[in-house]
Amino acid sequence: MKKSNSGRLEIVQISRAVAILFVLIGHANNNFYQQIGYDWLNIAQWERTGGVDFFFIVTGFMIYYLYHKHAGNKEKATQFLIKRIVRIFPMYWIFTTLALIVPYAFPLLQESYSVEVTLKSFFLLTSAPILSSAWSLTHIVIFYFLFFAYMYKPVIMKPVIGLLIGYTLLGEMNIFPFLPSTIFNVSTLEIFCGALVAHLSIHFTNRYAGLCIVLGLAGYALTWIHNIYSLTFIPLALAYGSCSMLIMYGIAEKDKTKRNVPHILSYLGGASYSIYIAHGPFIKVYLVIFVKLNFFDIIHPFFGLVLIILLVTASCCMVYNIVEKPLVETLRRTVFGKKRVTKPVPPLLAK
């Protein structure tokens, strides 16, 4: 595969930004519906918007693309797992703690949690964590541990992962409904589908990259139309996952040559984890403030929704600059004993 001349996946950077912004929009709309009854395009009634599905595909793609060549290298496998833990958990713990503390300043957000729920949330042992917007992180962590095992012992893990994927498909068809839903889950399967796209992109030239992107986008549009008008029943995870794979396969081919992308989109791609982790609490706080100020008596809820999305995005970018970057750099120096990473690795969407 001919890699990008710039050494970075510029369009994939944009796709990470787009994926996380779709997730943010969906969560913001759901909060608006719960708090003031406003539901843009009836999105709150949809089972899913497709943002998280694209999120999973991009995550699997990036992990496999960056680390597949180290399969069988135990030292690299260990480094991979440590880097993922360093990147994921400190930020996650900070905002889970804030999710527990902040409601005391905003009584409307007050919720009580048992010790069991709190502990399970801190260690991502539940699909319904206290930081509710991070539910998908459970599936991503499972994927990271499986990918670590694959890097460590690829000969053993290839059939194990194959069986996991097969049993997950059987579980989705209710043939084995008793399987643990957290592990044998379509969300985890989508992340592996992203890795499959990376494998295909590395080993094959896609001569129909543009067509793949167009078909994938058209599929998303048709699925959204289906959601708005409830035309018929379709399995949304399958629809979104397939379309996301097509889009990602096309993007990956386009990214084999140097691309100039807007700096703001590249930046948002880099800040994607901060946006992912921090957007839930920020949405709740801004919405409570707007309601307290009777803001929606002045402007239409749609414009309030747009404004909160912009405020939340800006706030999360501040978190990225002030908290995530220095925190991760400090932890990496502490763990690996280096002043800087010798070979820059683009931060991943679901870190």
Q: What is the CA radius of gyration of the chain?
A: 20
| Sign of the four-CA dihedral 13, 19, 22, 26 | negative
Q: Please check the confidence at residue 350 and state whether its pLDDT lies above 50.
A: no
Q: How far apart are CA 329 and CA 86, in angstroms?
A: 10
Confidence of residue 10 (pLDDT cuts 50, 70, 90): confident
Neighbouring C-beta atoms of residue 44, cutoff 10 Å: 17
pLDDT band of 84, cuts 50, 70, 90: very high
Q: Is the pLDDT of residue 255 over 90?
A: no
What is the per-residue pLDDT across 104-115, written as a single tens digit (0 to 9) for each?
666 655 566 778
- Asked if 291 contacts 36 with a C-beta cutoff of 8 angstroms, the reply is yes
Write down the pLDDT at residue 179: 64
Q: Does position 70 have pLDDT exceeding 50, yes or no?
A: yes
More confident residue, 2 or 71: 71
pTM for the full predicted model: 0.87
Average pLDDT value for residue range 48-70: 92
Task: Please provide the average confidence, as pLDDT, over all residues in the chain.
Answer: 86
Counting Cα atoms < 13 Å in the Cβ hemisphere of 314 gives: 7
pLDDT digits (tens, 9 = 90+) for 198-215: 999 999 999 999 999 999
Higher pLDDT, 261 or 162: 162
CB 317 within 8 A of CB 276: no
Q: What gap in Å lies between CA 212 and CA 4, rounded to an integer? A: 20
Q: Which of 244-248, 260-264, 336-340 has the lowest mean pLDDT?
A: 336-340
